[in-house]
A and B are shown apart, each in its own frame.
Chain A
Amino acid sequence: MFDSLDISASALLAQRTRMDTIAGNIANMNTTRNTRGEAVPYRRRFAVFASGRPDAPGKVGVSVAKIEIDRGPFRKEYQPSHPDADKEGYVSYPNVDLAVEYVNALEASRAYEANVTAMEVSKAMMNASLRLLA
């Protein structure tokens, strides 16, 4: 009975990780340079979920299999005076679409809420069972 909370907890962790990648995408939506200062724009990242838990074999739940990098094309903007502009005067901006990120963030937070509610139900059931002892 008690491991039912672990199932929901694994989903909370996975959804939060997803939320972190979304926050990272939105924060970097105008980043045109990498950590070394080269003119390489940030690429959108997204979490890939997989059923099961590698950290606890045999237990059910969900986990983030890996954080993928979006290979889609960069957003081009004509800004000849920008230091990171190419020969034609275009600046490559990250391939982050704010609308997509918002929708994903909403989905992640709703899924998080659903799992919290599921945990509440589990707790209520456990409480009822434990009252048999009293």
Chain B
Amino acid sequence: MLIEGLMNRGNGALLEQVVNFASQRHKLILENIANVDTPGYRQKDLSVERFSSMLRERVDQRRRTGSASFDDTGSKVEYPMRGILFHDRNNRSMEQLATDMAKNAMMHNLAIELLRKQFQQMDMALREKVV
């Protein structure tokens, strides 16, 4: 109960959602890259803006009411029309995919790193000694 309280009060739940979102989005980007030569394939993506605004909403809610659930912040799959629609009806954009993948991986690793730091601090507090 103590641990659960510790985990849910700070950024833990938030970071967990960020990691979840980033890994889901990574899978979609991988699918897009895999299908770069498939005729008629439509690029898929998750909206980062919608996710972050939803997260912000939940944080505000937690601040006001004292508790909020951070589950189910995953957005639904979108089919953005960006880049050029090629003759094989595939709207690929390799540069866009590469940038998205790099940004997304960085976001994921940042969240993981922050989580790790948090766990370390918690560990430190539990052991009552500095590692």
Chain A contacts to B: CB under 8 angstroms = 1, 3-4, 7-8, 10-11, 14-15, 18, 48-51, 60-62, 107-108, 111, 114-115, 117-118, 121-122, 124-125, 128-129, 131-132
Partner of A60, one of B19, B27, B37, B115: B27
Contacts of B7 in A (CB 8 A): none
CB <8 Å contact, A51 and B35: yes
Known: A132-B116, A132-B119. A107 touches B109 (CB 8 A): no
Give chain A's interface secondary structure class. helix
Which of the listed residues B30, B34, B105 has the most CB atoms from chain A within 10 Å of its own CB?
B34
Within 8 A of A (CB), among B13-63: 19, 22-23, 26-27, 29-31, 33-39, 41
C-alpha spacing A60/B39, complex, angstroms? 16
| Chain B residue at minimal CB-CB distance from A124 | B105
7 tightest A-B contacts by CB?
A: A11-B34, A7-B30, A49-B38, A128-B112, A62-B34, A60-B31, A128-B109
Known: A118-B101, A124-B105, A132-B115. A10 touches B26 (CB 8 A): no
C-alpha spacing A122/B105, complex, angstroms? 8
Give chain B's interface secondary structure class. helix
Interface size on B, residues (CB 8 A): 29
Chain B contacts to A: CB under 8 angstroms = 19, 22-23, 26-27, 29-31, 33-39, 41, 94, 97-98, 101-102, 105, 108-109, 112-113, 115-116, 119
**What is the minimal beta-carbon distance from A126 to any residue of chain B, in angstroms?**
9
Contacts of B35 in A (CB 8 A): 11, 49, 51, 62
CB <8 Å contact, A114 and B26: no
Contacts of B29 in A (CB 8 A): 118
Which of the listed residues B30, B31, B39, B115 has the most CB atoms from chain A within 10 Å of its own CB?
B30
